[in-house]
Amino acid sequence: MLKYSNDRTHDLAKDRVFHALADPGRRAMVDRLCRGPASVSELARPLAMSLPAVVQHLQVLEESGLVSSAKQGRVRTCRIEPQALLSVEQWVAVRRASWERCLDQLGAFLDETSPQAKTRRKP
Q: For the chain, what are the domain ranges?
A: 8-81, 86-121
Q: What length is written for the chain?
A: 123
Is 8-81 assigned to CATH 1.10.10.10? yes
Angle in degrees, 0-180, between the axes of helices 24-33 and 51-64, rounded to the nearest 10: 70
pLDDT category at 43 given cuts 50, 70, 90 is very high
Instruction: Indicate the DSSP class of residue 51.
Output: H
Q: How confident is the model over 6-29, as a mean pLDDT?
A: 86
Could you count the other beta carbons within 10 Å of the beta carbon of residue 101?
10
Angle in degrees, 0-180, between the axes of helices 51-64 and 8-21, rounded to the nearest 10: 150
Q: Would you say 67 and 33 are in contact if contact means Cβ atoms under 8 Å apart?
A: yes
CA distances from 106 to 66, 96, 101, 109 (A): 37, 15, 9, 5
**Residue % of the chain over a pLDDT of 70:** 86
Global pTM reads 0.73
One-character DSSP codes across 88-106: HHHHHHHHHHHHHHHHHHH
Per the prediction, the chain carries an average pLDDT of 88
How far apart are the C-alpha atoms of 119 and 98, rounded to whole Å? Answer: 32
How far apart are the C-alpha atoms of 8 and 83, rounded to whole Å? Answer: 19
pLDDT of residue 2: 45
